A and B are shown apart, each in its own frame.
Chain A
Amino acid sequence: MRLTGNLALSLLAIVLLALGAIGFADKTEELINRGHDQTEAKASTDDRSADKSPAEHQGHGAPAQGELHNHDLRGQELAQAPGHAHSGGMCPMMAAKQYTTR
């Protein structure tokens, strides 16, 4: 009986944790998107002021084929950084994934 109770409590805790984490992830995603939109808006303003097309402005606007859409990370270093989500890190598979889009 006690084991069943513990099991039920654990399951409840896990479900609550998972639901909480999903909600928190949604909020995080909103923040990322908001930051992303602001960045793109700023980039677009900067681009207009500099009279450059988005493609000419490194790191902003739609990435050309084979380039990284790098969330306004400044400079090529971040875009090409090994641990960067687009290019690698400990995750083995990023390497291969990156290759697929080359």
Chain B
Amino acid sequence: MKKLGFLTHALRQRWYPSTLQVVLAIIFGFILLQLIVGPASEGQNPGTVITWLLWWPLIPLTFVLAGRFWCAVCPFGTVGDWVRKLSGLNRPVPSFIKNHGLWIINGLFLLVTWYDVAYGLTTSVPATAVLLLLVLIGAAGFSLVYEKRAWCRYVCPVGGIFGNYSQTAFIELRGTREICQDCADMHCYKGREDLPGCALFVSPKNLASNRTCNFCGDCLKSCRKDSPKVVLRAKPGDELWRKARPRFDEAFLAASLVGLIAVSTLGMLEIWPVMIEPLSGALGLGYAAAASIYMLLLVAACLVVYTAGTYFSARLNKESFKLNFSRFGYALIPLNLTTHFAHNLSHFLGEGRLISGAAMTLFYPLTAAQAAVKTPAAGHGGAAGLIGDPYIQAIQFSLVGLGIMLSFYVARRVALAGGNDDTISWPHYAVIALFGFISFWLFSLPMSPRH
């Protein structure tokens, strides 16, 4: 592992992360203001465009490059920090939240995705405003009552979902073992004088996963012994198969994400209305009900397929089903990440020009911006696209291929790390291949003509 001295040094500075926090909080304030008083059309409103066309598509990339760095500068967390400093009660986090945090995250993310699939979140200015306000209230409320960043660690859906991806990051922050093992001060965890300890309730001494580090730099500043360091990982993602205690909830999240990404991709395709029609026509269901049924079916199907793979691997290695489910779930994370990014990238690349159109409303309200944004679309990747559809599809295929290969690799390493022969991973190769096939298929299908 190569030490990244300049990053370690940067994270130790007084201006970090507060300066970035203030800048992003101002941008967030502007976005929220636009959502409340700006144009009613989602394609014109800088709030929806910045949120759903720029931030949401690109955010997974930051988690791969720099783990949960975003969480350190996230405006919601920043507002929470301010609230806690002003009038926080600093109560300990209830054990229920500590023990079931990721299930809360899973539930919240499913709920938000369901609302979007059934009623439209990203297509609605008011709904986007309400979502951001709810998250803001949640972060501020938790910070008002509980100590540290309880919201970010245990409840935030964005940090929670992308926290899975952060485990594949290229960098990590860890304590120096030789220094930490004899240290009784634990300033990194408890803080000292006016310097806070770890906001995510973990000491670098015991830090084993990027999921619980947001690179806020507090431990670097508090430690008098210069122990925590930012390093470039020799094998990014190796924590996926080196888990001392693999978690069932993280594996469940990884398996269900396959279905959620698939349903969100389906919603862009010509085939989607063809699928909806029988349910809405024959059964007389409304759109929301039909779309909800498909979402539930897809998520359930992915869980069933993964459960079947786990059943066979458990029979092969004679270990418990739960342990197999938890361990091999991490093998799905690379495929989750690359298909999610492929999905998001198609929006960013396919419609990226709309961002500049919406940005223009800042300076030339409803004039030049309208002219730019109202350019008739010539299909996906047409007038609004940064590059053409074939290029986008080639990138998507490459990403899915990369995801399958990395997931194969992680599945094999998981099997070997458990002291087993790599034949244990064969059922999971089949699961990964099936999920990969579905992703290739979805990215091969024609986009909706007006998409």
- Name which residue of chain A comes closest to B277, CB basis: A73
Flag B258-273 by CB within 8 Å of A: 1 or 0 each: 0010011101111111
Q: Does A55 contact B (CB under 8 A)?
A: no
A85 with B268, Cβ < 8 A, contacts A29-B446, A71-B277 known: yes
Is B122 a contact partner of A88 (Cβ separation < 8 A)? yes
Is B117 a contact partner of A68 (Cβ separation < 8 A)? no
Is B123 a contact partner of A25 (Cβ separation < 8 A)? no
From the candidates B119, B121, B354, name the one contacting A100 in the complex (CB within 8 A): B354
From the candidates A10, A17, A82, A93, name the one contacting B118 in the complex (CB within 8 A): A82
Distance of A1 Cα from B351 Cα, bound (Å)? 44
Flag A44-73 by CB within 8 Å of B: 1 or 0 each: 000000000000000000000000111111
- Name which residue of chain B comes closest to A22, CB basis: B444
Residues of B within 8 A of A93 (CB): 52-53, 57, 347-348, 350-351, 354
Is A74 a contact partner of B280 (Cβ separation < 8 A)? yes
Is B272 a contact partner of A90 (Cβ separation < 8 A)? no
Flag B102-125 by CB within 8 Å of A: 1 or 0 each: 000000000001001111111110
From the candidates B43, B280, B404, name the one contacting A95 in the complex (CB within 8 A): B43
Q: Does B375 contact A (CB under 8 A)?
A: yes
Is A68 a contact partner of B122 (Cβ separation < 8 A)? no
Is A78 a contact partner of B377 (Cβ separation < 8 A)? no
Q: How many A-B residue pairs have CB under 8 A?
A: 224
Residues of A within 8 A of B162 (CB): none
Q: Does B376 contact A (CB under 8 A)?
A: yes
A96 with B384, Cβ < 8 A, contacts A14-B404, A87-B120 known: yes
Is A97 a contact partner of B451 (Cβ separation < 8 A)? yes
Shortest Cβ gap from A3 to chain B (Å): 10
Residues of A within 8 A of B119 (CB): 82-83
Shortest Cβ gap from A8 to chain B (Å): 11
Distance of A28 Cα from B272 Cα, bound (Å)? 12
Residues of A within 8 A of B250 (CB): none
Distance of A47 Cα from B426 Cα, bound (Å)? 56
Within 8 A of A (CB), among B420-451: 433, 436-441, 444-451
Shortest Cβ gap from B434 to chain A (Å): 9
From the candidates A18, A85, A102, name the one contacting B272 in the complex (CB within 8 A): A85
From the candidates B53, B268, B447, name the one contacting A89 in the complex (CB within 8 A): B268
Within 8 A of A (CB), among B253-295: 260, 263-265, 267-274, 276-277, 280-281, 286-288, 291
Residues of A within 8 A of B307 (CB): none
Distance of A81 Cα from B448 Cα, bound (Å)? 14
Residues of B within 8 A of A71 (CB): 270, 273-274, 277
Is B437 a contact partner of A99 (Cβ separation < 8 A)? no
- Name which residue of chain B comes closest to A90, CB basis: B264
Shortest Cβ gap from A40 to chain B (Å): 13
Residues of A within 8 A of B354 (CB): 93, 96-97, 99-100
Is A100 a contact partner of B384 (Cβ separation < 8 A)? yes
Is A14 a contact partner of B444 (Cβ separation < 8 A)? no
Within 8 A of A (CB), among B98-152: 113, 116-124
Is A91 a contact partner of B445 (Cβ separation < 8 A)? no
Residues of B within 8 A of A83 (CB): 116-120, 267, 272, 287-288, 291
A–B Cβ pairs within 8 angstroms, 28 of them: A7-B405, A21-B438, A21-B440, A29-B270, A69-B450, A71-B270, A74-B280, A78-B273, A82-B116, A82-B123, A83-B272, A84-B272, A85-B268, A85-B451, A86-B448, A89-B117, A89-B122, A92-B122, A92-B344, A93-B57, A93-B348, A94-B123, A95-B43, A95-B52, A97-B43, A98-B43, A100-B377, A101-B376
